[in-house]
């Protein structure tokens, strides 16, 4: 049977394949991904593909079609079942799978879904995703063959491995977890029985309609229930997950949010005690405070491009034991496998808090104070967004500004810094500014606005200010 398939072009993203179910993403797409990715694995001499899925209502049907497509390429599918994306990564690593695919819409609204992939233990992204689309369109796949399916039950092994690195002793913390109806629900229910403490789990039931709130812990509004519960119960810490549990949100004992870079400061100090001089990686959206604190703790701070696949690749290249993004992706290679896992990051953070002779809020309050805008996202056509960055960079270089071009432009001034970058996944530009003072922040916003106006764009909406730290 001959095979060709064309994907909706909007679904082929930089880091994954993702779309609106029934509009830009269908079971036929899932079959085509299985058929084409299975062929890529087979042509490289691979034999096994691990497949898992999240708790969205559309995920079981997409997973079934995906498995069918992979089997038709002659590979053995290791069917991991429903669970967090990191559990699928764990399966890929521990079972030494040649490829891995996770059906997940991550933190997107309930009507979205998608696919995250790994090939030979490394992220499958960028040009590889484009190539998969091209191969499917050309019908360039291996001849149809009868592969096989093996159900793999890894949940208990995964939980055992998570708990293995608990280093908080017997201190019983008071912990609030907001599962956010994410796919981590069943794993979390077991995990809390194995970590000392008094545990409260909110929204523990896996529900792909996300009835409690949107499953994105980087948005303050989504943490309101967690904050309220932490304050009401006098808890030591609150933890939240996104829809597939590869990103973590943290609230301290006062109910204040710790943003991604603040979480990373606390984890980095701990990791650097056993890895002095190690490289700690964070994305370009992170606070200058993070890079300064890593250096102070004896580490080598490295600013890198935003995107979980890019960060993982850079970690492997630099032998970094720890990396993180503002979006709440935390990557441990210290004792762990280098992939982002909210549950594992939670276990390690809880261990640190249990060993503190002070509160988590005291640690947060001791960090240097800055004032920042939230991450500002504003529309800019795909055909224009990268050109705008080039224009701004050109002008900044001409006037001798202190500018980093690792990912977009990040400009350092005496007042702090501002960032402008093109999103890899949407027709938007992303901006952020962080000042040492309110007046300094205002000057940074003026400078950013002036550059946008020179490229014919209006200033972003700076309302909802000072969400930073």
Q: From CA 66, how far away is CA 54, in angstroms rounded? A: 14
Q: What burial class does residue 326 get, using C-beta atoms within 10 Å of its C-beta: 0-12 exposed, 13-18 middle, 19+ buried? A: buried
Q: Do strands 76-82 and 148-151 pair parallel, antiparallel, or not at all (unpaired)?
A: parallel
Contact 32, 7 (CB under 8 A): yes
Only one residue has tokens 């990912």, namely: 407
Alpha-carbon separation of residue 69 from 131, 185, 447, 450 (angstroms):
17, 29, 52, 51
Q: From CA 199, how far away is CA 53, in angstroms rounded? A: 27
Structure token pair of residue 34: 């299985």
Count of CB atoms within 10 A of residue 292's CB? 14
Structure token pair of residue 277: 């001089």
Q: From CA 161, how far away is CA 159, in angstroms rounded? A: 5
Q: From CA 376, how far away is CA 462, in angstroms rounded? A: 7
pTM (whole model) above 0.85 = yes
Contact 78, 141 (CB under 8 A): no
| Domains (range + CATH), the chain | 9-153 (3.40.120.10), 157-365 (3.40.120.10), 371-454 (3.30.310.50)
Radius of gyration of the chain (CA): 22
Only one residue has tokens 């990373």, namely: 264
Contact 425, 116 (CB under 8 A): no
Q: What burial class does residue 342 get, using C-beta atoms within 10 Å of its C-beta: 0-12 exposed, 13-18 middle, 19+ buried? A: buried
Contact 360, 176 (CB under 8 A): no
DSSP characters over 353-407: HHH-SS-HHHHHHTSPP-EE---EEEE--HHHHHHHHHHHHHHHHHTT-EEE-SS
Structure token pair of residue 414: 């005496």
Element (H, E) at 87: helix 85-94
pLDDT the model gives residue 468: 45
Count the alpha carbons within 13 Å of 184 in the hemisphere toward its beta carbon.
33
Structure token pair of residue 374: 């939230």
One digit per residue, the tens of pLDDT, for the chain of length 469 reads 689 999 999 999 988 999 999 999 999 999 999 999 999 999 999 999 999 999 999 999 999 999 999 999 999 999 999 999 999 999 999 999 999 999 999 989 999 999 999 999 999 999 999 999 999 999 999 999 999 999 999 999 999 999 999 999 999 999 999 999 999 999 999 999 999 999 999 999 999 999 999 999 999 999 999 999 999 999 999 999 999 999 999 999 999 999 999 999 999 999 999 999 999 999 999 999 999 999 999 999 999 999 888 999 999 999 999 999 999 999 999 999 999 999 999 999 999 999 999 999 999 999 999 999 988 888 999 889 999 999 999 999 999 999 999 999 999 999 999 999 998 878 899 999 999 999 999 999 999 999 999 999 998 888 754 444 5
DSSP characters over 227-274: HHHHHHHT-SEEEEE-TTSSSEEEEETTSPEEPHHHHHHHHHHHHHHH
3-state secondary structure of 468: coil
Q: From CA 220, how far away is CA 256, in angstroms rounded? A: 10
Contact 81, 73 (CB under 8 A): no
Q: Across 21-75, where does the E strand assignment appear?
A: 48-53
Given 73, 92, 106, 327, the catalytic residue: 106
Partnered with residue 234 across adjacent β-strands are none
Q: From CA 279, how far away is CA 419, in angstroms rounded? A: 23
* Degrees, nearest 5: CA angle 95-101-205: 95
Only one residue has tokens 């709130």, namely: 213
3-state secondary structure of 8: coil
Residues 373-394: tens digit of each pLDDT: 988 888 999 889 999 999 999 9
Q: Is 106 a catalytic residue?
A: yes
pLDDT the model gives residue 1: 62
Structure token pair of residue 123: 């992220």
Structure token pair of residue 131: 């190539």
Q: In what order do the strands lie in the sheet with 322-324?
A: 300-304, 279-283, 322-324, 330-332
Structure token pair of residue 267: 């984890």
Per DSSP, 134 falls in state H
Residues 258-295: tens digit of each pLDDT: 999 999 999 999 999 999 999 999 999 999 999 999 99
Q: Residue 113: which of 101, 124, 121, 104 has the closest Cα?
A: 104
Q: Residue 203: which of 221, 218, 189 has the closest Cα?
A: 189
Count of CB atoms within 10 A of residue 125's CB? 23
Partnered with residue 17 across adjacent β-strands are 12, 115
């Amino acid at each position: 049977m001959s095979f060709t398939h064309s994907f909706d072009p909007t679904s082929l993203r930089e880091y994954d394949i993702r779309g609106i179910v029934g509009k830009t993403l269908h079971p036929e797409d899932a079959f085509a991904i299985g058929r084409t990715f299975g062929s890529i694995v087979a042509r490289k001499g691979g034999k096994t593909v691990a497949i898992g899925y999240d708790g969205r209502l559309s995920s079981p049907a997409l997973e079934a079609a995906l498995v069918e497509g992979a089997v038709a390429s002659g590979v053995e599918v290791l069917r991991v079942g429903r669970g967090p994306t990191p559990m699928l990564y764990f399966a890929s690593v521990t079972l030494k799978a040649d490829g891995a695919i996770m059906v997940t819409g991550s933190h997107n609204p309930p009507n979205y879904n998608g696919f995250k992939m790994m090939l030979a233990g490394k992220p499958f992204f960028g040009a590889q995703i484009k190539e998969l689309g091209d191969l499917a369109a050309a019908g360039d796949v291996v001849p149809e063959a009868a592969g096989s399916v093996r159900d793999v039950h890894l949940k208990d092994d995964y939980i055992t491995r998570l708990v293995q690195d608990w280093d908080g002793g017997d201190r019983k913390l008071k912990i609030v977890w907001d599962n956010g109806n994410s796919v981590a629900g069943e794993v979390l229910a077991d995990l809390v029985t194995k970590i000392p403490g008094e545990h409260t789990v909110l929204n523990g039931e896996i529900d792909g309609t996300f009835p409690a709130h949107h499953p994105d812990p980087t948005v303050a509004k989504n943490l309101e229930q967690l904050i309220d519960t932490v304050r009401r119960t006098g808890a030591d810490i609150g933890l939240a997950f996104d829809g597939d549990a590869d990103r973590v949100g943290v609230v301290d004992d006062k109910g204040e949010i710790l943003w991604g870079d603040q979480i990373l400061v606390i984890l980095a100090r701990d990791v650097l005690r056993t890895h002095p001089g190690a490289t700690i990686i964070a994305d370009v959206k992170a606070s200058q405070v993070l890079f300064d604190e890593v250096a102070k703790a004896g580490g080598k701070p490295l600013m890198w491009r935003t995107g979980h696949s890019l960060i993982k690749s850079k970690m492997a290249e630099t032998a970094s034991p720890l990396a993180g993004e503002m979006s709440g992706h935390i990557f441990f290679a210290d004792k762990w496998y280098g992939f982002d896992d909210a549950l594992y990051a939670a276990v390690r953070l809880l261990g640190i808090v249990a060993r503190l002779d002070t509160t988590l809020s005291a640690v947060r309050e001791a960090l240097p104070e800055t004032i920042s805008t939230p991450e500002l996202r504003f529309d800019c056509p795909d055909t224009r967004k990268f050109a705008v960055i080039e224009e701004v960079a050109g002008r900044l270089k001409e006037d001798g500004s202190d500018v980093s071009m690792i990912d977009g432009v990040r400009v350092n001034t005496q007042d702090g810094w501002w960032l402008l970058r093109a999103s890899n996944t949407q027709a938007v530009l992303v901006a952020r500014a962080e000042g040492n003072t309110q007046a300094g922040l205002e000057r940074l916003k003026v400078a950013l606005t002036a550059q946008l106006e020179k490229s014919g764009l209006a200033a972003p909406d700076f309302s909802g200010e000072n969400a930073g730290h």
